[in-house]
Amino acid sequence: MSKEAMQYANIIKSLLDEISSEEESVKKAAALVGDSIMRDQVIHVIGPGGHSNMGVEEMFSRAGGFACINAILDPGTNLSHGGPRSMGVERVPGYAIPVLNAYRVGKTPGEVLIIINAYGVNCMTIDCANEAKKRGVTSIAITSTSFADKLPKDHPSRHPSGANLYQSVDVFINNHLPYGDAILSVEGCEQNVGPTSTFCNCFTANYLVLETCKYLVSKGYTPPVLRSGNLPGGDEYNKDMMEKYTGKAILLF
């Protein structure tokens, strides 16, 4: 392994250790998610912008994840339709509202919306938090303070209000994203390499799932966790579990 690769690995490990220290906020969020699951509700998860969608995909329809995830994967910010388009869409005020409507967010009391966005400043992200409040939906943010606290209030990526996600939700889980995202310098390369945001988002999301499972078990409730479809009997096991949430989780079809 090269010197740079070792440095990258060590930085990622240190970030995961920092996230692991967020036990209090993760357990608080886990109780809210667990209580919602015990009410037979789906858990709404959205990643408002580009690579944030990967955090949603990490929680949806996968081995070791919950069957009850309502994954809000709107094509508007999906990078498969182009990077500049995705960035442009996430900066449109009000765009989040019809997206949340399409995924039926806020139809029943006590729902939970997990907002995954490591930077936590763009229009769609802040609008998701504001809409959750209007709809009586409990909001949980997986985000950081680094960009939010340092980025100028008039930066074009920001919501017009200048609000920060971590200050706009019911529960904030700090994913400790370093300012700049990419953290390694390579001689002869003008910009840093070695991005960190996806590691931070996905580890934090799975940490939340883990603690939610522990919470559910402590309440005598069997967590609705999916098995790998590549294991013997996996398809059959998952089919029975996912049928319970078909029609509630929009992308379970």
Domains and CATH numbers, the chain: 18-243 (3.40.50.10490)
| pLDDT attached to residue 223 | 98
pLDDT band at 244 (very low <50, low <70, confident <90, very high): very high
- Give backbone dihedrals phi and psi of 4, rounded to 5 degrees, phi first: -70, -40
pLDDT attached to residue 252: 86
Percent of the chain with pLDDT over 90: 97
Task: Check whether 245 has a pLDDT greater than 90.
Answer: yes
- Give the model confidence (pLDDT) of 15-54 as tens digits: 999 999 999 999 999 999 999 999 999 999 999 999 999 9
pLDDT tens-digit readout, 152-177:
999 999 999 999 999 999 999 999 99
Beta strands 138-143 and 171-174: pairing type?
Answer: parallel
Determine the average pLDDT of the residues in 120-125.
97
Q: Is the pLDDT of residue 253 over 80?
A: no
Q: What is the pLDDT of residue 4?
A: 92
Residue 208 — pLDDT band, cuts 50, 70, 90?
very high
pLDDT score recorded for residue 59: 98
Q: Give 240's pLDDT tier (boundaries 50, 70, 90).
A: confident
Query: Residue 69 — φ and ψ, nearest 5°?
Result: -85, 120
Is 78 within 8 Å of 86 (Cβ atoms)?
yes
Question: 0.95 exceeded by the pTM?
Answer: yes
Mean pLDDT in residue range 85-95: 96
If 0-12 CB within 10 Å is exposed, 13-18 middle and 19+ buried, where does residue 57 land? Answer: middle
Question: Cβ–Cβ contacts within 10 Å for residue 1, how many?
Answer: 8
Q: What digits encode the pLDDT tens for the residues 212-231?
A: 999 999 999 999 999 999 99
CB under 8 Å to 240, separation ≥6 — which residues?
none
Q: What's the CA gap between 44 and 33, in Å, rounded?
A: 10
Give the Cα-Cα-Cα angle 207, 47, 198 (nearest 5 degrees): 55
Mean pLDDT of the chain: 96
pLDDT at 126 over 90: yes
pLDDT at 38: 98
**What one-character-per-residue DSSP string does 204-234 give?**
HHHHHHHHHHHHHHHTT----BPPPTTSTTH
Read off the pLDDT of each residue in 96-124 and give the average, rounded to a whole number.
97
For the chain, how many residues are written?
A: 253
Question: Is residue 170 within 8 Å of residue 137, measured between CB atoms?
Answer: no
